[in-house]
Amino acid sequence: MSEQAMEEDQQSYEDINAVKTPFDVAQCDGDSLYTYLPNWLNSLTDEQIRAPPMSGNVFQQYIRQSHLESSMANSIRKMALNEDRLFTVDDFEFGRPLGKGAFGIVYLARLKKTKFICALKMLHKSKINEYSMAEQVKIETESGFKLNHPLILTMYDVFHDEKRFYFMLEYAPHGQLYRFLQKLRRFSDRLAASYIYQICHALEYCHSKSIIHRDLKPENILVDCCGNLKLADFGWSTKIRHADTMNTTACGTLDYLAPEIVGHKQYQYHVDNWCVGVLAYELLSGHAPFEGTDDETKVKIANINYTFPDYFSPLARRFIDNLLQKEPKRRMQLLDCIAHDWLQRNAYKYLFGPYKCPIYVHMDE
């Protein structure tokens, strides 16, 4: 990382702290909601979990709805500016930093003109060049525009200036799923299954659009104001290719790497299915299945060497075993995951709370 880029980042943090009253979406933030979500879920009766009042695939309805809303996402610029020009950073006022990415900071931001709230992910061009990641930024943009799904973070727009790229993203008020996991230490079967259920739907949709996420982990899964997941960070995503041109790039996060990536072999979309298994294990236990030093983890992954804590239910074990298969083709398919008994018996099969598309939030009202 170049010193100049680091300095710039530091400066932007200071700039933000210098703002006297950075705005915040106060009603969506705060600790109270941390405990709200699992308590609410735990209070559901078995009957409510197993026999949803609405029949059919409720998620399919949301997906159809999201296609309607995609036209909204695509016309945000028009609604927001009422002009046909590109955004510039001056169109925004900045709130608190939401997180730090590999190439820059993500800020809460709001359009000055319309008060539309979003997250602005900045990427320093100098850092992108330093790591030769230009192609990956292009793919992140393409994936962002291609995907429209209620469980995937919407990308509204991308623009750039001399120094940076800016991704204008849907704001996920609860931030990383990782924070929930840290707070609760580990999730109940119900909560873990409900979230794995949502992730399976989101990933199945990505794969149907020929996109592999490749970096699934609790840090890249965000939580919206109702407690639903928003799959985020398509910075490592790639297109599914034909068998003769499969990917071999080694990427992702060590704990979540599939054996074929660790072994530098060719791989396909099955790497995401592997990650679902690792994620299910981590949500249920609070730690990844192949934990250790980097070298230990690699060896454990290559040998599929993991054990379950006593409290894992037989169904959860079976679910995870079916995904943590060395041979990619033997790994459970996402649609089979959705139909698996562990999810069918435990997952809450709706989106939590009233489903709302991103709306204008008038802070001054």
Ligand X SMILES: Nc1ncnc2c1ncn2[C@@H]1O[C@H](COP(=O)(O)OP(=O)(O)O)[C@@H](O)[C@H]1O
Identify residues 284-323 at the interface with ligand X (CB under 6 A): none
- Give the count of beta carbons closer than 10 Å to the beta carbon of residue 87: 20
Instruction: With contacts defined by CB under 6 A, name the span among 61-69, 167-175, 185-193, 329-337 that binds ligand X.
Output: 167-175
Classify residue 222 by its DSSP letter.
Answer: E
Residue from 166, 171, 290, 352 touching ligand X (CB under 6 A): that is: 171
Applying CB under 5 A, the span of 68-76, 214-222, 243-251, 326-334 interacting with Mg ion comes to: 214-222
Residue number with the smallest Cβ distance to Mg ion: 233
Q: How far is the CB of 283 from Mg ion (least distance, A)?
A: 18
Residue 227 interacts with, from Mg ion, ligand X, none (CB under 5-8 Å by kind): none
Q: Is 282 in the site for Mg ion (CB under 5 A)?
A: no
| Least CB distance to ligand X at residue 70 (A) | 17
| Per CB under 5 A, 136 contacts Mg ion | no
3-class SS letters over 146-192: HCCCCCECCEEEEEECCCEEEEEECCCCCCEHHHHHHHHCCCCHHHH
Residue 148 C-beta: closest distance to Mg ion, Å: 21
For residue 233, state whether it binds Mg ion (rule: CB under 5 A): yes
Q: Which is nearer to ligand X, 94 or 103 (CB)?
A: 103
- Angstrom distance (rounded) from CA 28 to CA 162: 34
In sequence order, the 6+-apart residues with CB closer than 8 A to the CB of 103 are 122, 123, 124, 127, 128, 133
CA–centroid distance for 22 within its chain: 26
Q: Give the x-and-dash track for 203-232 against ligand X (CB under 6 A).
A: ----------------xx-x---------x
User: What gap in Å lies between CA 186 and CA 117, rounded to an integer?
Assistant: 32
Report the residue from 119, 200, 324, 351 that binds ligand X according to the rule CB under 6 A.
Answer: 119
For 237, the enclosing helix (H) or strand (E) is none
Rg (CA), the chain: 21
The length of the chain in residues reads 365
Size of the site for Mg ion (CB under 5 A): 2
Q: What is the DSSP string of 10-64?
A: HHHHHHHHHSSS----GGG-STHHHHHHHHHHHTS-HHHHHS-SS-S-HHHHHHH
- The torsion of the CA quartet 329, 334, 336, 338, rounded to 10 degrees, works out to 160
User: For ligand X, which is the closer residue by CB, 109 or 347?
Assistant: 109
- Name the residues annotated as catalytic: 215
d(CA 275, CA 252): 10
98 lies in the binding site for ligand X (CB under 6 A) = yes
Interface characters, 127-156, with ligand X (x: CB under 6 A): --------------------------x---
Residues lying near ligand X in the complex (CB under 6 A): 98-99, 101-103, 106, 119, 121, 153, 169-172, 175-176, 219-220, 222, 232-233, 235
Residues lying near Mg ion in the complex (CB under 5 A): 220, 233
